């Protein structure tokens, strides 16, 4: 963490933002939100989102059935991170977060430690990932995204 912006934590690079997302997902899985459906209904409730479409898109990306019990192993966490990032950032931006970025972030989680942004909402973590992504982009990519 290098600071705060608008009440959100700012990470030094995208890997630490992904680490936060991975820790949040691991914590939820270990506390009974252990299916894709339960995780997404928790963070993208129907009152605010098209939750069923969100779930479908994550399932399409991960290949993990929505009601299959999840384990918090690195491979599963990486798949969930990719699925969530694809939905939240959309096709115009999600490709800026590479599988290597996700692997690095999951790798930074360490063993079984649950230290990290426990209690952060998934939306907050994704915003942090987006802010971290933008902050670490070369200036020409930032300008292109901002159409300047």
Q: In this predicted structure, what is the pLDDT of residue 43?
A: 84
Q: What is the distance between the alpha carbons of residues 8 and 58, in angstroms, rounded to a whole number?
A: 25
Of 87, 91, 86, 62, nearest to 75 (Cα)? 62
pTM for the predicted model, two decimal places: 0.74
Q: In this predicted structure, what is the pLDDT of residue 119?
A: 42
Who has greater pLDDT, 10 or 109?
Answer: 109
Helix (H, G, I), strand (E, B) or coil at 105: helix
Helix ranges (H only) for 12-73 are: 14-30, 36-43, 51-62
Give the pLDDT mean for 90-100.
92
8 Å CB contact between 85 and 129 = yes
Q: In this predicted structure, what is the pLDDT of residue 118?
A: 39
pLDDT band at 120 (very low <50, low <70, confident <90, very high): very low
């Amino acid at each position: 963490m290098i600071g705060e912006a608008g009440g959100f934590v700012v990470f030094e690079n995208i890997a630490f933002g992904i680490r936060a997302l991975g820790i949040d997902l691991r914590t939820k899985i270990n506390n009974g939100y252990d299916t894709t459906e339960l995780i997404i209904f928790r963070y993208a409730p129907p009152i605010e989102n098209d939750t069923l479409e969100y779930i479908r898109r994550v399932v399409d990306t991960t290949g993990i059935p929505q009601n299959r019990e999840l384990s918090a192993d690195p491979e599963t966490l990486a798949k969930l991170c990719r699925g969530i990032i694809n939905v939240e950032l959309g096709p115009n931006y999600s490709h800026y977060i590479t599988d290597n970025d996700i692997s690095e972030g999951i790798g930074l989680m360490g063993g079984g430690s649950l230290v990290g942004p426990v209690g952060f909402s998934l939306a907050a973590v994704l915003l942090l990932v987006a802010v971290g992504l933008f902050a670490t982009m070369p200036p020409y990519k930032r300008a292109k995204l901002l159409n300047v």
